[in-house]
Structure formats: structure tokens, C-alpha cells
Amino acid sequence: MPDSTLTSGGSVSARNDLTEDRPVYVIGGGPGGLAAAAALRELGVRAVVLEKSGNVGASWRRHYDRLHLHTTRRRSALPGLAMPRRFGRWVSRDDVVRYLDKYAEHHELEVVTGVEVSRIDRAPDGRSWQLTATGGRVLTGRAVVVATGFNHTPRVPDWSGLDTFTGDLVHASEYRNPAPYAGKDVLVVGIGNTGAEIAVDLIEGGASRVRIAVRTVPHIVRRSTAGWPAQSTAVLVRRLPAWLVDRAAALMCRISVPDLAAQGLPRPDTGLYSRVKEGAIPVQDVGLIDAVRRGRVVPVAAVDSFDGDTVVLADGDRITPDAVIAATGYRRELEGLVGHLDVLDARGRPVVHGARTPKQAPGLYFTGFTNPISGMLRELALDARKIAKRVARRG
């Protein structure tokens, strides 16, 4: 079939594209995709955002009610539009959604919803990119920005006996608020930022008992110390050698974070920044330290398996919670989209990001697939401008 161009309403016009008319396609209408599209538009490059859901910022709309950014309002804004001061220093989930809606409107972005791209290939001319999308669409663009998100597809480990568990089990992506868990015994699996905050939300919201399963002891940092946000420190040190940051972070944590070893949460034996380099972001405290210290949230060993109404832990303990919330992360799910292009590493992550493109795939950009210590939204904004400049130079 001939190349097709999407109209802003999501329909397809069956006319052949001229090479000079072909837009840059941005896959994903979250913060990364919107930022890239706005930066491109600012430089006079037409960008079309393809979003599989019905709205921009779809993943943000699904986050739990309590969520606030762990990064400051000022350092979380995307290119070309500040976040309003009324949002406060730590912006709520609902205000992030309002901001993304306003961002698309403010920049008059060309966003097409209800269109999911399943595969990206080199176009026959060898210079453009061809996208296969829902409804039999075949779209051709001068470049492609993949911004489908770090948290794309919920991941639940294949625990032995999981299908026999008689309690309630949901992934953290399905958790909204503690109301359904009032008076219940809940096990949260995973002590990243999401698991830690959900555990605190549960105990403050009326759960009778909350335990949190810990596979790897995390680094815990204060979100702000004496008014100085942890993000500001992260921005300052992100270019320093890992060993130096590790030492400084260890000293700071000993000063600002109490020893919780007696409560089952000892200090990690590996450096904070070394861990970040491996993809593990520290937990920013929004109540976990106090909850663990007071025994309101109890750390336990990692989950090993399930047996009927029982959860078997790695240390051999057996517990019978009413509900389990798996804060066990997400998969990027890029293999079907670009796996055939040899642009992913062994863990399914893009081999490059930002303004760099793979040598074998010039014009193919990735944003939002790292988890930087300095803040995801800040890095998305920086990546967006770099990508736009590179695309504009390539012509």
C-alpha cells in the first residue's frame, strides 16, 4: 500500500509523502515524547506524536493517588513551559497530568491518539524510516524518536506456585490508594521508590499490618535536607568519579539517615553512585524511615515462592498476608519494535540515548530509557533539545 500520513484527528490520507514533507515521528505521548516534539517544533521541524492510548501522559494518569515528584518543580519542567508556582515544590500526580495536557496545547503539538506502532524499519529509500502501526498504517518519516517510556509493561516474577495463591495479588501499577486494604495484612514486594511509598501509604491509610519484602537493601536518602533537595546534590555530582560520590554519600547518609539494621534494614555494603551506574536509583524518603523505625512497616526477606495462602520467603519464613502488591518493576518491551535493528543491549535497553543514534540506524533516537540520579524529567528536557538540534542539522 502507499505511504500514509496521519491527520491530527487520527485518520489516514492515502497520498504519497514527498521526502521533504515527511515529519519526524515521535512514538509515545508521555513527557519525553512531548518534550521532543516541542523542541523539534521550536526549530521549525514538523513532528507528529503517535500515542497508543486516548490521552497524553497516559502512564501518569494511572499512577497511585499519593504520588508526588521526587524532583523539584523548577527542575521538572519541559522545554518552553514552566510549571506553575501553585503546584508547589513537590508536584502531585494530578498536577503533572494537568501540566502535560497544557504543554501539548501550549506548543500546539500534533498529537495523534489511538495509534500504536508495532515495528520500525528502514524505508526502501535507505534514508527514511518506515513505521508499521495499527489499522494497517504504514508511515514514513525522516527520523523517529522512540519515547515509549521506562515504565512500559508491568513485570511480575514467575514465582513458583504463584497460580495457587489464594490471596489478592496485584502489580503496583494497579494500586491507586489504601482504601481497599483497610484492616488487611499486606505484603509489598520490592523496596524501590514505588514499593516504599506504597508501603507508607498503606499503613497510614489503615492497613492492619504492612511488610515489605527486600531482595537488595536500598540506599535511602532524604528528599530534602535543611531545605536543600537531594536532586540538587545529584546534579552537582553526576559527572564526578563514582568512588568519590560513594564516599561522600556514605558520610551524608550516616549523618542524615538512622541505622535501621535492628529493624531489618541494614546499610548497603555497596556505594550509592556505583549502584546508580548499575541502574539502581536510591529510595527518596517520604515516610519510610520513620515507618520502619517505629515498626509500622516491617522489612522481611525476598519472596521465594507461593503455596496456597502462604508466601514462602527466601530465609524460609512462611507468612499468610491477605494481599500482595508486587512493586517489581517494568519491562521496556522494545524487542518487537526495534529488536531486529540490533540497537538494544543484552538487557533490552537502547545502546544509545539522547542525541546519539546507533551507527547502523542513523536518524533513530531514544529518550527516557535511563533512570538518571539527577531526575528523569530534567534529563528528558535536556535530551529533547539535543535531539531536536541534531535532527535539524541533519536536514
Domain boundaries, the chain: 5-152+332-394, 155-326
- Side-chain-side CA neighbours of 70 within 13 Å: the count stands at 25
Radius of gyration for the alpha carbons in the chain, expressed in angstroms and rounded = 22
Distance between CA 355 and CA 394 in Å, rounded? 12
**Residues 89, 92, 97, 102, CA torsion sign:** negative
In whole angstroms, how far apart are CA 272 and each of 2, 63, 124, 240? 53, 27, 47, 13
Residue 246, C-beta contacts closer than 8 angstroms, at least 6 positions apart: 271, 272, 273, 274
Nearest residue to 24 (alpha-carbon basis) of 382, 377, 357, 381: 357
Cell of 388: 531536536
Note the pLDDT tens digit of each residue in 253-280. 999 999 999 999 999 999 999 998 888 8
pLDDT at 6: 55
**Is residue 30 classed as helix, strand or coil in its secondary structure?**
coil
pLDDT at 279: 81
pLDDT at 240: 92
User: Which pLDDT tens digits describe the chain residue by residue (395 residues)?
Assistant: 334 445 444 433 333 333 346 899 999 999 999 999 999 999 999 999 999 999 999 999 999 999 999 999 999 999 999 999 999 999 999 999 999 999 999 999 999 999 999 999 999 988 899 999 999 999 999 999 999 988 888 999 999 999 999 999 999 999 999 999 999 999 999 999 999 999 999 999 999 999 999 999 999 999 988 888 989 999 998 889 999 999 999 999 999 999 999 999 999 999 999 998 888 889 999 999 999 999 999 999 999 999 999 999 999 999 999 999 999 999 889 999 999 999 999 989 999 999 999 999 999 999 999 888 889 999 999 999 999 999 999 86
- Give yes or no on whether 5-152+332-394 and 155-326 have one common fold: yes
Beta bridge mates, 304? none
Distance between CA 339 and CA 25 in Å, rounded? 18
Which phi and psi (to 5°) does residue 367 adopt?
-140, 140
pLDDT at 176: 97
In whole angstroms, how far apart are CA 83 and each of 43, 71, 237? 22, 12, 25
Cβ–Cβ < 8 Å for 42, 80: yes
In whole angstroms, how far apart are CA 65 and each of 85, 89, 92, 93, 385? 21, 17, 9, 7, 31
Cβ–Cβ < 8 Å for 24, 41: no
Topology classification of domain 155-326: FAD/NAD(P)-binding domain (3.50.50)
Nearest residue to 296 (alpha-carbon basis) of 222, 210, 193: 210
- CATH number of the 5-152+332-394 domain: 3.50.50.60
pLDDT at 195: 97
Cβ–Cβ < 8 Å for 50, 35: no
Cβ–Cβ < 8 Å for 102, 81: yes
Other C-beta atoms lying within 10 Å of the C-beta of residue 206: 12
**DSSP E strands, 215-271:** 220-222, 224-225, 228-229
> How does strand 330-331 pair with strand 153-154?
antiparallel
